[in-house]
Amino acid sequence: MRTKRWPEWWEWELSFRDHARQVMRERDVTEVDVREMLEDARDLYWASLAGRWVVLSRWRRRLWEVVVEPDAIDGVLVVITVYEVD
């Protein structure tokens, strides 16, 4: 259960960039898997690139990060990439 207050865009519909879909295939991660990662998010912090956020999650007993970018114009949360944390 999350105790942290999440931004309003947290509940927006997800959209996936082509790059995200490509790396997801390479890392054997599905859209459903990413949705599970976001559902079980442990932390959220600003990414180094303005406007983007990094979501820390646990999946397959490992730490993963999902980089997202809220798109206020279209009202979607764009998944940029996803990767396992070493």
Determine the average pLDDT of the residues in 11-40.
96
CB of 40 closer than 8 Å to CB of 59: yes
* Domain 11-84 classification at class level: alpha beta
> What does the pLDDT read at residue 4?
67
In this predicted model, what pLDDT tens digit does every residue of 27-72 receive, in sequence order? Answer: 999 999 999 999 999 999 999 999 999 999 999 999 999 999 999 9
CB of 83 closer than 8 Å to CB of 64: yes
Structure tokens at 12: 């927006």
